[in-house]
Amino acid sequence: MSFIQELFGKSPFGPLVEHTKKVTECVEVIRPLMEALVNEDYVEIRRLQDQVSKLEYEADLIKHEVREHLPRRYFLPVDRVELEKFIGCQDKIADKAEDFAVILTLRNTKLHPDIMDKFFDFVDQVFVTTKTLLTAAEELKNLAEVSFSGVEASNVLKLLDGLNEEEWKADRIARSLSKDIFALENQLDPITLLFYEKMLLVLSEIANEAENAGDMLRTMIVT
């Protein structure tokens, strides 16, 4: 029996947690990618891009199994549509992590020292946001056992409040970093500025999709 098959018993919530974990692994590669960019190690960037691509593929395998078994394998305490949306948001997180890695392979760009520290602050904040989502999603199996109610549900709602706050922090850093990027317009060529902004945009989308996934989890609890 394959690893994917072993994940599936009567409930889909265990595999959903595994999907969240795999998506988080995709995001974890972003900081090493940034470190390789700073070191101008473009060979390492390509190696890490392959790693993210493999992790994203593994996340897709779990996603497909969840969707294939969801309609017929288990009586659910929540709406299947909400679970589908939750999976979809997480899928976008993994996709955007892979997109970020691919962007860094497009050209041998150097990261300007004036924005280096804030870029890393932003990367770290994006990871905090996705990690908060994982902490909340890890409670899915427990939530299912209590029909998404009670103390367990209240605790997860508190985690989701924290997730919203972490995404807000990421937004603030992103806005500030965008200003810093365009303050370099007299020092850098337009393509490099647009490249930085593209990096920033994709990272912002990861944090946004983490918040969206959290919103779907919240909907499961409160409806």
Alpha-carbon separation of residue 69 from 43, 63, 64, 172 (angstroms): 40, 10, 9, 40
Q: Is the pLDDT of residue 2 over 70?
A: no
Q: What is the pLDDT of residues 135-146, one digit of tens each?
A: 999 888 788 777
Q: Which domains does the chain have, with CATH numbers?
A: 3-222 (1.20.58.220)
- Identify the band that residue 59 occupies on the pLDDT scale cut at 50, 70 and 90: very high
Read off the pLDDT of residues 5-38 as tens digits, 9 standing for 90 and up: 444 445 788 888 999 999 999 999 999 999 999 9
Give the pLDDT of residue 10: 57
pLDDT in tens, 165-222: 999 999 999 999 999 999 999 999 999 999 999 999 999 999 999 999 999 999 888 8
pTM to 2 decimals? 0.91
pLDDT tens for each residue of 72-130: 655 677 788 888 999 999 999 999 999 999 999 999 999 999 999 999 999 999 999 99
- Report pLDDT for 211: 96
Question: What local confidence, expressed as pLDDT, does residue 174 receive?
Answer: 98
pLDDT for the residue numbered 21: 95
Name the token pair of 104: 């860094």
The angle that helices 13-28 and 113-137 make with each other, rounded to 10 degrees, is 170
DSSP string, the chain: --HHHHH-SS-SHHHHHHHHHHHHHHHHTHHHHHHHHHTT-HHHHHHHHHHHHHHHHHHHHHHHHHHHHHHHH---SS-HHHHHHHHHHHHHHHHHHHHHHHHHHSS-PPPPHHHHHHHHHHHHHHHHHHHHHHHHHTTHHHHHHTTT-HHHHHHHHHHHHHHHHHHHHHHHHHHHHHHHHHTTTTTS-HHHHHHHHHHHHHHHHHHHHHHHHHHHHHHHHH-
Give residues with Cβ within 8 angstroms of 206, minimum separation 6: 27, 30, 93, 96, 97, 100, 126, 129, 130
pLDDT of residue 64 exceeding 60, the answer is yes
The pLDDT score that the predictor gives to residue 222 is 84
Give the other-Cβ count within 10 Å of 210's Cβ: 32
So what's the pLDDT on residue 26?
Answer: 97
Q: pLDDT, tens digit, for every residue of 177-186?
A: 999 999 999 9
Q: CB of 221 within 8 A of CB of 142?
A: no
